[in-house]
């Protein structure tokens, strides 16, 4: 049995790490294809080092290049992945989540199963079944197509399974395993607790708000992005808690392009490693974010979350009360922050028990 992991971005590295480590522990032959979608040290290499992952066997170096042409980006990856898979002929390919890397990986496998190659490689989608029902998001297109193409769909929740059944995907392809992010957080706990990031930044438990913003629909739109930054100022004015803003390179680039600046209550930091990110979340009074992974981590780390989007593909978090979807209007965001600040910090686990990777291997008979 030979496995292949296709990844390209920060969240894919973090969420595939538990499965990759398990493959190594069990001496299952595997290799990693890194598309290079993320390439800056703080979005890429730092996680390989922190999470004890082997270097990718193939690094395609296909960064998005700031282009808005999603098809070109995906197509370039598809061309290169296809060649590698044809040569390596793995038994199983894993993709995770909803990025362009996922779409390219899934298409490459399924195209190679047709004439003239007739590969027998099976395709596994980790974190399948998420839906925002917003088809103006490129991620929604990526996950719908990947889910249709995959042989094994590992979903984080019963709700995700229901979504897939509603789309006509046969039930015997769908497995509720929980989300590997829980495995990753559990694995990181002691190093999260040992992180010195609070001291470095001069922060105390509950004495700040953590913010992240990177979604294309938010930061590539000057009005939405300006509104989000205005909401940071309003929240600071109302609560006198500094906003620690982990600034994704895309957001930094767009702030410069739109001439947006931060006021004194907002402190931008370059993206931090996983252990520091978890510690910053755990001790924050609240998180404000448009990240998918951070909505999940809020529920794991018991921190109230306000989501800076009009929808979420993680409705389990809103139903449990740990997350409020506020959109990008500053008034609505402040209102959501005020409400979430008053919430208790006792939310039930939503995405499994931290053994998703083992469950996945059990299902695959590895």
Distance, C-alpha 140 to centroid of its chain: 13
Q: How far is the CB of 27 from ligand UD1 (least distance, A)?
A: 31
Is residue 282 near ligand UDP by the rule CB under 6 A?
A: no
Distance between CA 190 and CA 193 in Å, rounded?
5
Restricted to residues 235-264, the positions that interact with ligand UDP (CB under 6 A) are 246
Q: Which does 294 bind (CB under 5 to 8 A by kind): ligand UD1, ligand UDP, none?
A: ligand UDP
Per the listing, tokens 């969240």 go with 11
Q: What is the C-alpha separation between 205 and 285, in angstroms, rounded?
A: 8
User: Applying CB under 6 A, does 317 fall inside the site for ligand UD1?
Assistant: no
Per-residue burial over 250-269, b if 16 or more Cβ lie within 10 Å, else e, is: bbeebbeebebeeeebbbee
100 binds, among ligand UDP, ligand UD1, none (CB under 5 to 8 A by kind): ligand UD1
User: Considering only residues 277, 287, 303, 308, which one is a binding residue for ligand UDP as defined by CB under 6 A?
Assistant: 277
- Scanning 85-93, 169-177, 202-210, 245-253 for contacts with ligand UD1 by CB under 6 A, the matching segment is 245-253
- 351 is a site residue for ligand UD1 (CB under 6 A): no
Distances (CA, A) of 19 to 8, 71, 81, 136, 356: 16, 29, 20, 31, 9
The token pair that represents 90 in the structure block = 């793995």
Confirm if 109 and 119 have CB atoms less than 8 A apart.
yes
Q: Are 111 and 118 in contact (CB under 8 A)?
A: no
Taking CB under 6 A as the rule, does residue 272 contact ligand UDP? Answer: yes
Binding flag, residue 15, ligand UD1 (CB under 6 A): no
The answer to whether residue 355 is catalytic is no
Does residue 11 belong to the site contacting ligand UD1 (CB under 6 A)? yes
Contacting positions for ligand UD1 (CB under 6 A): 9-11, 37-40, 43-44, 64-66, 98-100, 138-139, 214, 216, 249-250, 253
**Which residues are the active-site residues?**
214
């Amino acid at each position: 049995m030979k496995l292949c992991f296709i990844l390209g971005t920060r969240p894919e590295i973090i969420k595939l790490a538990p499965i990759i480590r398990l493959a190594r522990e069990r001496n299952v032959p595997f290799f990693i294809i890194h598309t290079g979608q993320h390439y800056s040290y703080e979005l890429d290499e730092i996680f390989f080092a922190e999470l004890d992952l082997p270097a990718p066997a193939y690094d395609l170096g296909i960064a998005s290049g700031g282009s808005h042409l999603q098809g070109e980006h995906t197509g370039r990856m598809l061309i290169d992945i296809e060649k590698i898979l044809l040569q390596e002929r793995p038994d199983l390919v894993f993709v995770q989540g909803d990025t362009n890397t996922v779409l390219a990986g899934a298409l490459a496998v399924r195209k190679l199963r047709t004439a003239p190659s007739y590969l027998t490689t099976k395709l596994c989608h980790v974190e399948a079944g998420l839906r925002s029902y917003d088809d103006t998001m490129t991620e929604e297109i990526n996950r719908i197509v990947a889910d249709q193409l995959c042989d094994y769909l590992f979903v984080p929740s019963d709700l995700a399974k229901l979504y897939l059944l509603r789309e006509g995907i046969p039930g015997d392809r769908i497995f509720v395993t929980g989300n590997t992010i829980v495995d990753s957080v559990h694995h990181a706990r002691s190093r999260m607790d040992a992180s010195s990031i609070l001291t470095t930044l001069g922060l105390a438990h509950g004495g700040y708000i953590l913010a992240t913003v990177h979604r294309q629909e938010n930061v590539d739109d000057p009005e939405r992005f300006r509104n989000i930054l205005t909401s940071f100022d309003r929240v600071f004015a109302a609560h006198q808690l500094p906003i620690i803003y982990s600034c994704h390179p895309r957001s930094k680039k767009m702030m410069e392009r739109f001439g947006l600046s931060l006021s004194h209550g907002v402190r931008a930091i370059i993206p931090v490693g996983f252990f520091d990110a978890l510690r910053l979340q755990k001790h924050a009074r609240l998180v404000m974010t448009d990240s998918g992974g951070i909505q999940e981590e809020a529920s794991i780390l018991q921190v109230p979350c306000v989501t800076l989007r009009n929808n979420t593909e993680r409705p389990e978090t809103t139903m449990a009360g740990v997350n409020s979807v506020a959109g990008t209007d500053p008034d609505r965001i402040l209102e959501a922050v005020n409400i979430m600040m008053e919430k208790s910090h006792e939310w039930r686990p939503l995405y499994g028990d931290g053994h998703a990777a083992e469950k996945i291997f059990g299902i695959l008979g590895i």
